[in-house]
Structure 1
Amino acid sequence: MRVGIISDTHKKVGRAKKAIDLLKEKGCEWIIHAGDIVKVEILDYLEEVYKNRYIAVLGNNDYHLYEVVDKYHLVTEPYYFKLASLTWKLMHYPKYIFPLDTDIIVYGHTHDVDISFNGKNLIINPGEVCARDHGFSTCVSLDIEENKYIVTLFYRKIGESEWKSKVKEFIKV
Protein backbone atom coordinates (compact mmCIF):
# COMPACT_ATOMS: atom_id res chain seq x y z
CA MET A 1 0.00 0.00 0.00
CA ARG A 2 1.17 3.53 -0.74
CA VAL A 3 0.15 6.37 1.60
CA GLY A 4 0.68 10.09 1.01
CA ILE A 5 1.53 12.34 3.95
CA ILE A 6 1.32 16.14 4.08
CA SER A 7 1.33 18.77 6.79
CA ASP A 8 1.26 22.49 7.44
CA THR A 9 -0.57 23.65 4.34
CA HIS A 10 -1.66 26.83 6.15
CA LYS A 11 -3.26 29.31 3.72
CA LYS A 12 -1.50 27.95 0.64
CA VAL A 13 -4.38 26.27 -1.19
CA GLY A 14 -2.55 26.18 -4.54
CA ARG A 15 0.53 24.53 -3.04
CA ALA A 16 -1.68 22.07 -1.17
CA LYS A 17 -3.47 21.10 -4.38
CA LYS A 18 -0.14 20.58 -6.16
CA ALA A 19 1.09 18.29 -3.37
CA ILE A 20 -2.19 16.34 -3.27
CA ASP A 21 -2.15 15.98 -7.07
CA LEU A 22 1.46 14.78 -6.99
CA LEU A 23 0.73 12.13 -4.38
CA LYS A 24 -2.33 10.94 -6.30
CA GLU A 25 -0.27 10.82 -9.51
CA LYS A 26 2.39 8.77 -7.67
CA GLY A 27 -0.24 6.18 -6.77
CA CYS A 28 -1.01 7.02 -3.15
CA GLU A 29 -4.20 5.23 -2.15
CA TRP A 30 -4.64 7.12 1.11
CA ILE A 31 -3.52 10.55 2.29
CA ILE A 32 -2.82 11.78 5.80
CA HIS A 33 -2.68 15.46 6.77
CA ALA A 34 -0.73 16.15 9.97
CA GLY A 35 -2.45 19.43 10.81
CA ASP A 36 -2.46 23.17 10.29
CA ILE A 37 -4.86 22.72 7.42
CA VAL A 38 -6.24 26.25 7.91
CA LYS A 39 -8.41 26.48 4.77
CA VAL A 40 -11.66 24.56 4.25
CA GLU A 41 -10.84 24.56 0.53
CA ILE A 42 -8.02 22.12 1.27
CA LEU A 43 -10.44 19.76 3.01
CA ASP A 44 -12.84 20.11 0.08
CA TYR A 45 -10.03 19.14 -2.29
CA LEU A 46 -9.00 16.15 -0.17
CA GLU A 47 -12.62 15.03 -0.20
CA GLU A 48 -12.87 15.50 -3.97
CA VAL A 49 -9.63 13.67 -4.81
CA TYR A 50 -9.51 10.99 -2.12
CA LYS A 51 -13.19 10.62 -1.13
CA ASN A 52 -13.18 8.63 2.14
CA ARG A 53 -9.52 7.68 1.89
CA TYR A 54 -7.96 10.50 3.88
CA ILE A 55 -7.63 11.58 7.47
CA ALA A 56 -6.58 14.97 8.84
CA VAL A 57 -5.72 15.98 12.38
CA LEU A 58 -6.50 19.44 13.69
CA GLY A 59 -3.45 21.63 14.34
CA ASN A 60 -2.87 24.71 16.46
CA ASN A 61 -4.08 26.96 13.60
CA ASP A 62 -7.25 24.95 12.96
CA TYR A 63 -9.54 25.93 15.85
CA HIS A 64 -12.04 27.44 13.41
CA LEU A 65 -12.36 24.01 11.72
CA TYR A 66 -13.98 22.41 14.78
CA GLU A 67 -17.30 23.56 13.36
CA VAL A 68 -16.83 21.30 10.30
CA VAL A 69 -15.40 18.22 12.04
CA ASP A 70 -18.49 16.16 11.19
CA LYS A 71 -18.35 17.08 7.50
CA TYR A 72 -14.77 15.85 6.91
CA HIS A 73 -12.47 13.14 8.24
CA LEU A 74 -11.05 15.44 10.90
CA VAL A 75 -9.70 14.13 14.20
CA THR A 76 -8.06 15.48 17.34
CA GLU A 77 -4.64 14.49 18.57
CA PRO A 78 -3.23 12.04 19.31
CA TYR A 79 -5.36 9.89 17.04
CA TYR A 80 -4.84 6.13 16.88
CA PHE A 81 -5.98 4.03 13.93
CA LYS A 82 -5.15 0.97 11.82
CA LEU A 83 -4.24 1.11 8.15
CA ALA A 84 -2.52 -1.55 6.02
CA SER A 85 -2.55 -3.91 9.05
CA LEU A 86 -0.35 -1.49 11.00
CA THR A 87 -1.01 0.70 14.02
CA TRP A 88 -0.68 4.44 13.50
CA LYS A 89 -0.59 7.49 15.74
CA LEU A 90 -1.36 10.83 14.10
CA MET A 91 -0.76 14.19 15.73
CA HIS A 92 0.17 17.75 14.94
CA TYR A 93 2.31 18.50 17.97
CA PRO A 94 5.43 16.35 18.38
CA LYS A 95 4.87 16.26 22.15
CA TYR A 96 2.55 13.28 21.60
CA ILE A 97 5.27 11.12 20.00
CA PHE A 98 5.92 9.39 23.32
CA PRO A 99 5.17 6.71 24.17
CA LEU A 100 6.41 5.00 21.02
CA ASP A 101 3.37 2.75 21.02
CA THR A 102 2.48 2.27 17.34
CA ASP A 103 4.18 1.02 14.19
CA ILE A 104 3.98 4.39 12.44
CA ILE A 105 3.92 7.84 14.03
CA VAL A 106 3.07 10.90 11.93
CA TYR A 107 3.36 14.49 13.16
CA GLY A 108 3.67 18.03 11.83
CA HIS A 109 3.98 21.49 13.43
CA THR A 110 7.77 21.97 13.22
CA HIS A 111 7.85 22.45 9.42
CA ASP A 112 11.04 20.31 9.48
CA VAL A 113 11.23 17.00 7.64
CA ASP A 114 11.83 14.04 9.95
CA ILE A 115 12.05 10.51 8.57
CA SER A 116 13.47 8.09 11.11
CA PHE A 117 13.21 4.44 12.08
CA ASN A 118 14.45 2.82 15.28
CA GLY A 119 13.89 -0.77 14.17
CA LYS A 120 10.32 -0.81 15.47
CA ASN A 121 8.72 2.62 15.02
CA LEU A 122 8.70 4.61 11.79
CA ILE A 123 8.43 8.34 12.57
CA ILE A 124 7.50 10.80 9.82
CA ASN A 125 7.10 14.55 9.68
CA PRO A 126 6.61 15.48 6.02
CA GLY A 127 7.74 19.05 6.60
CA GLU A 128 5.68 21.88 5.14
CA VAL A 129 3.54 22.19 2.07
CA CYS A 130 3.26 25.94 2.63
CA ALA A 131 7.02 26.53 2.20
CA ARG A 132 6.93 29.27 4.80
CA ASP A 133 10.09 28.41 6.72
CA HIS A 134 12.40 26.73 4.21
CA GLY A 135 11.35 27.91 0.75
CA PHE A 136 10.48 24.36 -0.29
CA SER A 137 7.09 22.70 -0.45
CA THR A 138 7.48 19.13 0.82
CA CYS A 139 5.39 15.97 1.11
CA VAL A 140 6.01 12.25 1.53
CA SER A 141 4.84 8.97 0.10
CA LEU A 142 5.18 5.81 2.16
CA ASP A 143 5.25 2.39 0.52
CA ILE A 144 4.38 -0.32 2.99
CA GLU A 145 5.77 -3.67 1.93
CA GLU A 146 5.88 -6.95 3.81
CA ASN A 147 9.48 -6.58 4.98
CA LYS A 148 10.27 -2.91 4.49
CA TYR A 149 9.14 0.69 4.36
CA ILE A 150 10.08 2.90 1.42
CA VAL A 151 9.73 6.59 2.18
CA THR A 152 9.98 9.10 -0.65
CA LEU A 153 10.38 12.76 0.17
CA PHE A 154 9.14 15.05 -2.58
CA TYR A 155 10.30 18.66 -2.57
CA ARG A 156 9.76 21.62 -4.83
CA LYS A 157 11.42 24.98 -4.55
CA ILE A 158 8.98 27.88 -4.67
CA GLY A 159 8.87 29.31 -8.17
CA GLU A 160 9.87 26.01 -9.77
CA SER A 161 7.41 23.53 -11.25
CA GLU A 162 9.46 20.34 -11.01
CA TRP A 163 9.26 18.11 -7.95
CA LYS A 164 12.50 16.40 -6.93
CA SER A 165 12.71 13.39 -4.65
CA LYS A 166 14.87 11.45 -2.20
CA VAL A 167 14.20 7.88 -1.12
CA LYS A 168 14.92 6.11 2.18
CA GLU A 169 14.35 2.41 2.75
CA PHE A 170 14.00 0.74 6.14
CA ILE A 171 13.95 -3.00 6.77
CA LYS A 172 11.26 -4.08 9.22
CA VAL A 173 12.61 -6.13 12.09
Structure 2
Amino acid sequence: MPRRDAHLCPGDPRERRDGDPREDLRAGSGHDGSSALKVGVISDTHDRLPTFRRAISLFERLKLAAVFHAGDYIAPFAAQLIHADRLAAPLHCVYGNNDGEREGLKALLPGIQDGPLRIELGGRKIVMHHFIDWLKPDDMKGADVVITGHTHQVVNEMSNSTLVLNPGECCGWVSDRCTVAILDLEGLSAEIVEVHE
Protein backbone atom coordinates (compact mmCIF):
# COMPACT_ATOMS: atom_id res chain seq x y z
CA MET A 1 0.00 0.00 0.00
CA PRO A 2 1.39 3.44 -0.88
CA ARG A 3 2.38 5.72 1.95
CA ARG A 4 1.28 9.34 2.16
CA ASP A 5 3.65 11.24 4.41
CA ALA A 6 1.19 14.10 4.74
CA HIS A 7 -0.36 12.04 7.53
CA LEU A 8 2.78 11.33 9.53
CA CYS A 9 2.76 11.77 13.26
CA PRO A 10 5.49 13.85 14.90
CA GLY A 11 8.55 11.72 15.44
CA ASP A 12 7.89 9.42 12.47
CA PRO A 13 11.29 8.14 11.31
CA ARG A 14 10.62 9.27 7.71
CA GLU A 15 10.28 12.90 8.73
CA ARG A 16 12.50 15.32 10.55
CA ARG A 17 13.06 18.99 11.24
CA ASP A 18 16.07 20.78 9.82
CA GLY A 19 18.91 20.50 12.30
CA ASP A 20 18.15 16.89 13.32
CA PRO A 21 21.58 15.22 13.21
CA ARG A 22 20.38 11.89 11.83
CA GLU A 23 23.16 10.13 9.97
CA ASP A 24 21.23 9.34 6.80
CA LEU A 25 21.06 13.01 5.79
CA ARG A 26 24.58 14.01 6.76
CA ALA A 27 26.81 15.53 4.13
CA GLY A 28 29.90 13.74 2.96
CA SER A 29 28.53 10.40 1.85
CA GLY A 30 30.14 10.75 -1.59
CA HIS A 31 33.85 10.19 -2.27
CA ASP A 32 34.38 13.94 -2.80
CA GLY A 33 32.45 14.99 0.32
CA SER A 34 29.19 15.40 -1.60
CA SER A 35 25.99 13.44 -1.23
CA ALA A 36 26.51 11.96 -4.68
CA LEU A 37 23.15 10.26 -5.11
CA LYS A 38 21.00 12.62 -3.03
CA VAL A 39 19.17 15.64 -4.42
CA GLY A 40 17.06 18.39 -2.91
CA VAL A 41 13.45 18.80 -3.99
CA ILE A 42 11.48 21.98 -3.32
CA SER A 43 8.22 23.47 -4.57
CA ASP A 44 5.74 26.23 -3.92
CA THR A 45 8.07 28.74 -2.28
CA HIS A 46 5.54 31.53 -2.99
CA ASP A 47 7.89 34.41 -2.11
CA ARG A 48 8.33 33.30 1.52
CA LEU A 49 12.01 34.18 1.69
CA PRO A 50 12.87 33.05 5.26
CA THR A 51 11.86 29.44 4.65
CA PHE A 52 13.28 29.49 1.12
CA ARG A 53 16.64 30.65 2.55
CA ARG A 54 16.51 27.92 5.17
CA ALA A 55 15.84 25.27 2.52
CA ILE A 56 18.73 26.49 0.35
CA SER A 57 21.00 26.53 3.41
CA LEU A 58 20.03 22.91 4.14
CA PHE A 59 20.72 21.88 0.54
CA GLU A 60 24.11 23.62 0.62
CA ARG A 61 25.05 22.00 3.94
CA LEU A 62 24.22 18.56 2.59
CA LYS A 63 26.32 19.13 -0.56
CA LEU A 64 23.65 17.55 -2.73
CA ALA A 65 24.23 16.40 -6.30
CA ALA A 66 21.39 18.60 -7.65
CA VAL A 67 18.32 20.60 -6.67
CA PHE A 68 14.88 20.32 -8.30
CA HIS A 69 12.29 23.12 -7.97
CA ALA A 70 8.78 22.13 -9.10
CA GLY A 71 7.51 25.68 -9.58
CA ASP A 72 5.63 28.55 -7.99
CA TYR A 73 8.52 30.79 -7.03
CA ILE A 74 6.10 33.65 -7.84
CA ALA A 75 8.39 36.72 -8.20
CA PRO A 76 11.88 36.88 -9.67
CA PHE A 77 13.24 38.38 -6.43
CA ALA A 78 12.52 35.03 -4.75
CA ALA A 79 14.31 33.13 -7.50
CA GLN A 80 17.47 35.16 -6.80
CA LEU A 81 18.03 32.86 -3.82
CA ILE A 82 18.42 29.79 -6.00
CA HIS A 83 20.09 30.98 -9.22
CA ALA A 84 23.40 29.46 -10.36
CA ASP A 85 25.62 32.14 -8.80
CA ARG A 86 24.31 31.28 -5.33
CA LEU A 87 23.66 27.55 -5.52
CA ALA A 88 26.61 25.16 -5.76
CA ALA A 89 24.54 22.21 -7.06
CA PRO A 90 23.01 22.11 -10.56
CA LEU A 91 19.42 23.40 -10.58
CA HIS A 92 16.57 21.83 -12.56
CA CYS A 93 13.34 23.82 -12.53
CA VAL A 94 9.92 24.23 -14.10
CA TYR A 95 7.36 27.01 -14.06
CA GLY A 96 4.34 26.79 -11.78
CA ASN A 97 0.86 28.13 -12.50
CA ASN A 98 1.50 31.25 -10.38
CA ASP A 99 4.81 32.15 -12.02
CA GLY A 100 3.45 35.03 -14.10
CA GLU A 101 6.64 37.06 -14.52
CA ARG A 102 8.27 34.48 -16.75
CA GLU A 103 10.79 36.78 -18.43
CA GLY A 104 12.16 37.88 -15.07
CA LEU A 105 12.39 34.27 -13.87
CA LYS A 106 14.05 33.19 -17.13
CA ALA A 107 16.67 35.94 -16.74
CA LEU A 108 17.67 34.52 -13.34
CA LEU A 109 17.03 30.85 -14.10
CA PRO A 110 18.06 30.26 -17.74
CA GLY A 111 17.22 26.55 -17.52
CA ILE A 112 13.63 27.05 -16.33
CA GLN A 113 11.00 25.56 -18.64
CA ASP A 114 7.42 24.46 -18.87
CA GLY A 115 6.97 20.89 -17.72
CA PRO A 116 7.41 18.12 -18.16
CA LEU A 117 11.13 18.24 -17.59
CA ARG A 118 12.88 14.93 -18.20
CA ILE A 119 16.38 14.22 -16.96
CA GLU A 120 18.53 11.22 -16.14
CA LEU A 121 20.65 11.50 -13.01
CA GLY A 122 22.46 8.79 -11.09
CA GLY A 123 21.07 6.21 -13.50
CA ARG A 124 17.49 7.23 -12.64
CA LYS A 125 14.96 8.73 -15.03
CA ILE A 126 13.29 11.73 -13.42
CA VAL A 127 10.20 13.54 -14.72
CA MET A 128 9.09 16.82 -13.15
CA HIS A 129 6.00 18.96 -13.70
CA HIS A 130 4.33 21.48 -11.42
CA PHE A 131 1.01 19.59 -11.23
CA ILE A 132 0.73 15.83 -11.59
CA ASP A 133 -2.65 16.13 -13.34
CA TRP A 134 -0.90 17.96 -16.20
CA LEU A 135 1.22 14.87 -16.91
CA LYS A 136 0.03 12.42 -19.53
CA PRO A 137 0.63 8.69 -19.01
CA ASP A 138 3.25 8.75 -21.78
CA ASP A 139 5.10 11.55 -19.94
CA MET A 140 5.66 9.23 -16.99
CA LYS A 141 6.50 6.13 -19.01
CA GLY A 142 9.77 4.61 -17.79
CA ALA A 143 10.23 7.19 -15.02
CA ASP A 144 11.87 6.09 -11.80
CA VAL A 145 10.83 9.32 -10.07
CA VAL A 146 7.98 11.77 -10.76
CA ILE A 147 8.36 15.13 -8.98
CA THR A 148 5.39 17.50 -8.67
CA GLY A 149 4.13 20.41 -6.59
CA HIS A 150 1.01 22.62 -6.82
CA THR A 151 -1.21 20.92 -4.22
CA HIS A 152 0.86 22.08 -1.22
CA GLN A 153 0.44 18.55 0.17
CA VAL A 154 3.25 16.06 0.73
CA VAL A 155 3.13 12.92 -1.39
CA ASN A 156 5.91 10.37 -0.97
CA GLU A 157 4.71 7.05 -2.34
CA MET A 158 5.65 4.22 -4.64
CA SER A 159 3.31 3.59 -7.55
CA ASN A 160 4.40 0.32 -9.13
CA SER A 161 8.16 0.91 -9.50
CA THR A 162 7.94 4.74 -9.65
CA LEU A 163 8.49 7.06 -6.70
CA VAL A 164 5.90 9.85 -6.83
CA LEU A 165 7.17 12.82 -4.82
CA ASN A 166 5.58 16.13 -3.94
CA PRO A 167 7.75 17.81 -1.28
CA GLY A 168 4.79 19.83 -0.03
CA GLU A 169 5.03 23.59 0.28
CA CYS A 170 8.19 25.38 1.29
CA CYS A 171 6.10 28.48 2.03
CA GLY A 172 3.77 26.85 4.56
CA TRP A 173 0.95 29.26 3.67
CA VAL A 174 -1.70 26.55 3.20
CA SER A 175 -0.70 23.66 5.47
CA ASP A 176 1.36 25.58 8.04
CA ARG A 177 4.15 23.06 7.29
CA CYS A 178 7.22 24.37 5.46
CA THR A 179 8.66 21.26 3.85
CA VAL A 180 11.22 20.12 1.30
CA ALA A 181 12.46 16.65 0.40
CA ILE A 182 15.82 14.93 0.22
CA LEU A 183 15.64 12.35 -2.54
CA ASP A 184 17.98 9.36 -2.42
CA LEU A 185 18.34 8.24 -6.02
CA GLU A 186 20.28 5.11 -5.15
CA GLY A 187 17.68 3.84 -2.67
CA LEU A 188 14.76 5.37 -4.60
CA SER A 189 13.31 6.91 -1.45
CA ALA A 190 12.72 10.39 -0.11
CA GLU A 191 12.65 12.02 3.27
CA ILE A 192 10.48 15.04 4.08
CA VAL A 193 12.25 17.76 6.06
CA GLU A 194 10.58 20.72 7.79
CA VAL A 195 12.30 24.07 7.29
CA HIS A 196 10.27 26.44 9.47
CA GLU A 197 11.57 29.93 10.25
Q: Give the TM-score normalised by the residue count of structure 2.
A: 0.72
Post-superposition offset of 1:49: 3.2
| 1:137 counterpart = 2:173 | no
Question: 1:136 & 1:15 partners in 2: Cα distance?
Answer: 10
Q: Deviations over 1:68-125 (max 9, x none)?
A: 4254121101122222222111111121344131111000000000001124111100
Query: For the residues of structure 2 that align with 1:51 and 1:134, how far apart are their CA atoms?
Result: 30
Matched with 1:82 is: 120
Runs of 4+ in 1 over 4 A off after TM superposition: none
When the two chains are superposed, the root-mean-square deviation of aligned CA atoms in Å is 1.8
Q: 1:137 to 1:68 in 2, by over 3 A?
A: closer
Residue of structure 1 in register with 2:9 after alignment: none
Partner of 1:168: none
Counterpart for residue 191 of structure 2: 152
Instruction: Compare the two structures and name the one with the higher strand fraction.
Output: 1
> Do residues 18 (structure 1) and 54 (structure 2) align?
yes
For 2:33, the equivalent position in structure 1 comes to none
* 1:61 and 2:104 aligned: no
Q: How far apart, in 2, do the equivalents of 1:120 and 1:41 lie?
A: 38
Residue of 33, 38, 44 corresponding to 2:74: 38
Letter in 1 for 2:123: S
Structure 1 stretches of 5 or more lacking a match?
A: 162-173
Match of 2:39 in 1: 3
Q: TM-score, normalised by structure 1?
A: 0.81
**Does the 8 A contact of 1:38 with 1:65 survive in 2?**
no
C-alpha distance 13-127 of structure 1, shift in aligned 2 (>3 A): same
> What 5-or-longer segments of structure 2 have no aligned partner?
1-36
Q: Are positions 1:121 and 2:159 aligned together?
A: no
Alignment of structure 1 residues 92-131 onto 2, 5 Å: 92-99=130-137, 100-101=140-141, 102-131=143-172
What is the distance in 1 between the residues matched to 2:97 and 2:51?
20
> Number of paired residues?
156
Is the 1:126–1:153 Cα contact (8 Å) retained in structure 2?
yes
